[in-house]
Each structure stands twice: as C-alpha cells, then as structure tokens.
Chain A
Amino acid sequence: MASDEKSVQLKSDALMEQMKLHLTTDAGKALTKKIGLVYQLNIAPKKLGFNEESYVVDLKKGEVKKGTYEDGKPDATFSFTDNDFIKIAAGKMNPQIAFMRGAMKIKGSISAAQKFTPDIFPKPAKM
C-alpha cells in the first residue's frame, strides 16, 4: 500500500501495520487472551494534541484499525506524539515517566492503562 501521497506520514503507521499483522499470529492471539482490552491511540505528528491520527488497538477482537473506536468506549485512550509513541513501544521510554512528564495523556480505566506496556508491541527487525 502506498499511502505516502499525503504530506505527513506517521512513523507510528508502520508500527500499527506491524501490530495488525502481529495479531494474526499465535503470539498475537495469546495477547488478546491475556489482555482483552480495547485501546485507542491518538498520535500527533509533532505537537501533542494537534492533527492527531487515531488508531484502535482492539485486543479483544485482535485487530488494529485506523480511526476512533466506534463500538463503544475504549478501555483506555492514550495521546502521544509520533516519536514518543515509537519510543514507548520500543521500551525506550517508560510509560509512567511519560505520563508524569506530560508526554502521554491517558483517559479511561487505570488498570487498562497499566496494561499498556511495551511488550504488547512487536519489535521491528532492521535491514
């Protein structure tokens, strides 16, 4: 899919795509069993809260979709910038610290938010 016709392309896009594929694997399915929550991620290209792109990481159904969650309320909603999300997913930034610094905003259930850890996300291999 060549989606780079638009000027701003999020790095997180790649991660989300990878997550989508990941959820079809055995490991991904195990994840849905383990977590069973719906997260919405609002990712801003540069400045937190501006021009956000939303993704729904549905760890109940095991799918990733672009856009906001339509089937009710997500268990937790996060907001970050593109770079920060990448760092968190890679384990380079601790989500708690990110929250304390205001780099990450959270809405929704605490316990759901606490389960949002880097190990959920598959890591990209490097060429």
Chain B
Amino acid sequence: MAMRELVSGGAACATSGSSSSSNPLGSLANALLGSSSKTQERLREIPTSTAIPSDGSASVGTGEPLSGLPGSELDHPLQPNAQGSEFLRGFRSADQHGLADVWDEIQRPQVNFPPEHVLRQPDTNGPPQRVLSSFLHSFVNSSHGGIPFCPATLPVLGLSAGDKQCIRDRSSIMARHFFADKSEDFINAQVNALLSSLEIDNDIRAPGPAFKRYQELEKYWHETHGMRPGPNPADGWVAEFAQHPVGHGDPSTWVQSFEQEHGANGWASEFEHEHAQLASMDHIRGATMPHLAAMEQTRMLANTLAQNNDPKFQNSKFFQFVSKMSRGEITVEDNQIKPATLSAPGDWATEYQQQYSGGQTWADQFVHEELSKGPNGWVDEFASERGHVDDGWVNEFSKLHVNDWAEEFGRQVGEGTFGDSSADNWASAYDEYLNEQTALKQQSESSRGVYVFSDLNPYVGHPNPLKEGQELFRKGLLSEAVLALEAEVLKNPDNAEGWRLLGIAHAENDDDQQAIAAMMRAQEVDPTNLEVLLALGVSHTNELEQAAALKYLYSWLRHHPKYGTVVPPNQPDSLYYGDVATYFSDAARMSPDDADVHIVLGVLYNLSREYDKAIESFQTALKLKPRDYSLWNKLGATQANSVQSADAILAYQQALDLKPNYVRAWANMGISYANQGMYEESIRYYVRALAMNPKADNAWQYLRISLSCASRNDMLEACDSRNLDFLQKEFPL
C-alpha cells in the first residue's frame, strides 16, 4: 500500500494535514491546492524575474489537506478570461513562442483555468532545499497546466556540481515525458528556463559530447516509443495543445496523460538508459554519476525506511535491497542488478538503526523528508529488479483515482487504522512475492501436465516396485505407494497400470495436478481404459477444466463396450454438454444396475452444477456399491458444493471409515467446516490431512486462511514454515 503512496504522491502519508514534500508528485498536489487569492498576485508577478515571497503554503510540511490532488478542486468557479488575459499580458512580455493568441483561443472553450493550475511562483523563502523543491514543483506544475515555465531568479541554492548534473538530467527527461507531444524547441525552452534559473550550465543545446548524448537520448526515446521522428514545427505544440484535452475534470488526468505518453516502463527505462548513456559518455572513473545518483536516492530511501525500528522490516529483503543499493553494493545496469566489487562491511541494518533513532513510523519520516529527489530512483530499481512484468502496478496505480485513495488513506492514518502495520505489510508482501516466485517455478512444470518425479526415491532398484506399490496402496500408505509406483514407471514407462494407480494415489492424496499428469501417461499407453478416462474426467472437473472434463467423460462412453453404440460414430469437433448428458441418460436407461454409468453421470451433473441430480446419481450408485470409499467422497463433495454441509460431513465420515488414510476426505472435511465458519475445527482436519501428505499444497493454503480467521496468527509462522510437528501438537483431533 505504501509504495503506491510513494508513487502517487505520498501525500497521504502521516497525519491529515502535512504533505509530502519529498517528491514532486506529492507536492504537485499541494501546489495545486494553493489558495485562489494568490492567483492574481501571482499572475502579475509572472512576467518579471524577481522572486517574490509567496505565502509558502503547501510547499513543505504545512497543513494542507490531502484532498488536494490534481484537479480535485475544480469545482471552483473562476474567471478564466480575467485571469487569462492577465496571464497573457505577462506572457507576451516574457515572449514565449508567441503562444498568446492560441492561448486565448484555447481559453474560450470550456477549458477551466482554475486558480490552482496557474503557474505557481515558487516559494523562494526558506532553506535552499525548500526553495529548490518548490521550484522544481512549479516546473512540474507547468507541465500540467501546459503553461510554459517561466524562468525566475532564485537565491543562491548552493547546488553542487553533482546536484546540478542530476537536476539537469532529470529535468530533461521529465520534460520529455511531460511534453512528449510538444516540439523539441518547447521542451528545450522549458528545460533551459529551469536550468538557467538554477544557474546550471545548460549544455543541452551545446555541441559536444553532452549534446551528442542528448541526441542519442532523443533517438532512443523516439525508437522506444515509436513516436513521430524529428521535432515538430515550433507552433506544432500549440496546435497540439489545443487538441490535447486538458481534462481538468478528471482528478488523475496528468498522471494518465503521463502514462499514455510513454507506455509501460517508459520513464523508468528511459532513466535507466539515460544513466547507461551517461556512464558511457562520461569518462569519470570509479562510481559514475548515475550510480552516485542512484546511491543517493536509495540512501535517502533507506534512511527513511530505517526509521521503522521493527526488526522484521529491517530484515526484509526489500529493505536490504534498498540499503544495498544505497551503499553501492549493488548497482543497476541495463535493467539488471549487479553486485559491486566492494562489499560493504558489517551489519548495515543495525548501523542505520543506531544512526537514526526515533520512534517515527517510516510514513512520517517520508513526509518530512526535505529534498525532493523523488521516487524516480527507487521505482527504477524496483522495476528493473523484477523485470518487465512487474511495473504494471506502477502504471496501474497511476490510473487509479488517486484522489479518493488519498483522502481515504489520510483519514485512515488520522484514525490510526494503519499505524506501523502498513510498512510491515508492504515489506512482508514483498518478501512473500519473492518466495512465491521460486515456488511458482516449481509448480509451473506440473501445471503443464508434466509429471514431476520425487527426488531420492528409495524404491528405485526394487525388484518389483509395482507389486510393492499396490501393497502399500492397499494398506493406505499413499505417499509411500506413490514412491514405489514412480519407481515402477521409471523402470517400465509403458506400464499403464503403474501410471493409473499412480494417478489414483495422487488423487486420493489430494493432488489433482499430479494425478492428471500420471493419468495422461496412462491414457497414452492405454487409450481405452475406462477407469483412466473416468479419473481424468473427475480430476478435470475438480480443476474446473470443464471442456476437458466433458471430453474425457464422453470418451468413457464412447469406449464403453456396451454403451459405445449410444454415441454417434465420429467424434464431434466440439462437445455440447446437453448432448453428452442425453447419451448418458440413454445409457443409464439401458443398464440401470450399472453403478459405473451412474457414477459418471454424477460427475457430469457436477460439471453442469445440477447438484440435486448428481446427488441422486451417486446415491443410486452407492446402493449398488456401498463400500466404494471414493464414491462416498464424491457424494460428500457434491453435497458440500451445494451447501449441504451437514450431509457432506456424514458422507465423508463414511469414506474415512472405509479408508482411514484418505487424505482427500480429510481435507474435504476441513473445507466443509471452514465454509461453515467453524474455523477451529477446520484447522484440525487440515492438519490431519497434511500430516498424511505434507505435499498437499491446497491444504496448506486453506490451513493458513483458517488460522487467520480463527485469530491464530501465532501459528502462521508454523504454517508458513510447514512445521507439522508443531501444528499437530497444537491442533490434535
């Protein structure tokens, strides 16, 4: 959650009132909040170059309410023309590309020109950092209002060469983004205006290596974003601006347009590339500027994060990552993480903690962070670390109606809803994500229908593993049977029975994915085996793969010696449930005492969610085969899915009486209790199932949910670490 705030504008951090000055986005909000009374004053001031002290409101750490995100207070009636002409007068004297006429033109249609969007004279009082930050904000503002940025002289800010370089680079990139559809000249003018005000040498237009870099940058920019090549004519931007609907009504317009203009990872990768380019262009040895910049940003971020004294947070991988970056231990190059040659000593976590004491939450800290180097860096880092897939959320978040969220977040924080937990959640979410990635890799194999063999199989080399497997299965030792059967099929891959039994064992062990994988192999070897086809139908139904399930059940019918006649001779291209059901009903009428037909019908009715019919079919079959534990489970499952939980539990009990080690039935019991809200009971059943098959992943997930619903968060750790001993002791049946 917190990260989104950082991106969107972090203005929501901390108490409802203070605003984040630590990033231009947040302060943009504040800027736009500026009171209307200042407008006229500001307008008059714009043409001149003298710095005027503004009220300094909303720039840093003042009590601006959070609701002031872009465009949120556009309901204010205003006098566009009055202000417009004021502005224009000033503008003409500043002589900016003669846009005045067009501006007039634009003013007349509906375009709101709310006070808040007027170019805000930067606050030139206060410490250099604040001045700089507000100045940068107004630059950002100018992009939003589409009003060209006017230079202003500022008091000496004491920017170091590094700072200047940084500002120069960043502003040129940001300008490109903000004004992506404007002309080159316009962009350069903006940047120049900014830079000259800051007395930064503007070598963007100068020939030489810097200029060359700029050209390359431009080329790269155009390439990656498929934009029209070459700059537009000078008035082009003006026309574009006219077309460009500055939709003030939408709170997140500027963010949207920001996003629209460059797509998925535009500015982040852009920035990265910029750094890479700088690195190649510069002939500075050692740590190059971009790395320094990156280090600087992450140092600040790490400082901020270090405020959170929670050791869990300190130890989280994300925090470690950020801290490493800040120490230069790892650097980002070409969208990859590279560890630096020198490794930082010692325990940085404690070091930071020692250095920065204080009980503030990280959220508060971030709010009070002075310098607005902005979230650019860490987003880059974050994005590049996880590759292209993951910056979706950045885009995603920027498309949200940030206004609502900010208000709400502010309210919640004010009410103390979040407290410290937000940072924790965030950090642990990231940790979880990393863990999930590794887990996902393992799962992907089996989900594609490829059977995954166990390592270290003691039955490999056994003289007759099939027999051993069958024996173990009969005894109910499902996991052992699986191993023995794996040994068998490794030895004899064409043993249909081996594969079939392996599939059954997995299904009973509550692993449909492996069951499917094994059954498919069995089917390859023996395409007409009815048990295999039924099992495949059942497993696919469980996995909600409805089309596949239908196919297998239909095949069952087709390959049946007796009922094969019921179906038409050639396999239709697409199966319709209705037809298949009809065939089955015909078959059932042919042989009412064939339990199997009823079983298959029952599964079919589950597919179509006609639960009553399914229950009926299974009950009919049970009359014929009362000791079929798998059938009792099917009945129970059907009843459970049609919320007849009490009946389901009775059916499961019957199944377990017949087969005590029936993992699936134990897990189903847990599910029935959990669905009824009886979480404590469900926990015991899940634990029991897992004790018999620690690989039952579904059960682990469900156990976790039940633990938190039963407010047993103390046991979550044991659950996550799959500590069965501990869980069994705590939750016996």
Whether A93 is near chain B, meaning CB under 8 Å from some CB there, is yes
Q: Of residues 132 to 166 in B, which have CB atoms within 8 Å of A's CB atoms?
A: none
The total of chain B residues at the interface (CB under 8 A) is 73
Please report the C-alpha to C-alpha distance between residue A124 and residue B574 in the assembled complex, in whole angstroms: 27
The verdict on B730 contacting chain A, using a C-beta distance below 8 Å, is no
Known: A86-B544, A97-B436, A101-B389. A21 touches B642 (CB 8 A): yes
CA gap between A7 and B576 in the complex, in Å:
10
Residues 476 to 518 of chain B near chain A (Cβ within 8 Å): 510, 512
* CB neighbours of A97 from chain B (8 A): 429, 432-433, 436
A4 surroundings in chain B (CB, below 8 A) = 546-547, 550, 576-577, 607-608
Write the chain B residue with the least CB distance to A31. B677
A9 lies within 8 A of chain B by Cβ: yes
Chain B neighbourhood of A92, CB < 8 A? 697, 701
B residues sitting closer than 8 Å to A (CB atoms) are 1, 3, 389-393, 395-396, 400-401, 404-405, 408-409, 412, 417, 425-426, 429-430, 432-433, 436, 510, 512, 538, 541-542, 544-547, 550, 574, 576-578, 581, 603, 606-610, 633-634, 636-638, 640-643, 645, 648, 664, 667-668, 671-672, 674-677, 697-698, 701-702, 704-705, 708-709
A119 contact from B432, B668, B705, Cβ within 8 A = B705
Determine if A21 and B432 form an interchain contact, defined as CB atoms under 8 angstroms apart.
no
Shortest Cβ distance from B343 into chain A, in angstroms? 29
Q: Do B664 and A126 touch across chains, with their CB atoms under 8 A apart?
A: yes
Report the number of A-B residue pairs with Cβ-Cβ less than 8 Å: 146
**A110, B412: Cα distance in complex, Å:** 10
Nearest CB of A to B589, in Å: 20
Report the Cα distance A40→B289, complex, angstroms.
48
Would B429 and A91 count as touching, CB distance under 8 A? no
With CB as the reference atom, state the residue of chain A lying closest to B574.
A7
When the two chains form their complex, are residues A26 and B393 in contact, meaning their CB atoms are under 8 A apart?
no
Interface size class on chain A is: 35 or more
A-side contacts of B577, CB under 8 Å: 2, 4-5
The answer to whether B640 and A108 touch across the interface, beta carbons within 8 angstroms, is no
A55 CB, min distance to chain B CBs, angstroms: 15
CB neighbours (8 Å) of A122 from chain B are 643, 675
- CB neighbours of B396 from chain A (8 A): 99, 102, 105
Given contacts A9-B546, A96-B1, A127-B637, 17 further A-B contacts (CB under 8 A): A4-B607, A5-B577, A14-B544, A14-B546, A21-B642, A22-B675, A96-B429, A99-B393, A102-B389, A103-B392, A108-B404, A110-B408, A110-B409, A122-B643, A124-B671, A126-B668, A127-B634
Of A14, A22, A26, A110, the contact of B1 (CB 8 Å cutoff): A110
Q: With a CB–CB cut-off of 8 A, which chain A residues contact B708?
A: 119
**Residues of chain B lying within 8 A (CB to CB) of residue A86:** 544
A123 interface contact, C-beta 8 A = yes
- List 5 contacting pairs A-B, 8 Å CB cutoff, sorted by A: A91-B701, A110-B408, A111-B417, A119-B705, A126-B668
On whether the beta carbons of B546 and A125 are closer than 8 Å, the reply is: no
- Give Cα A119 to B675, complex, Å: 9
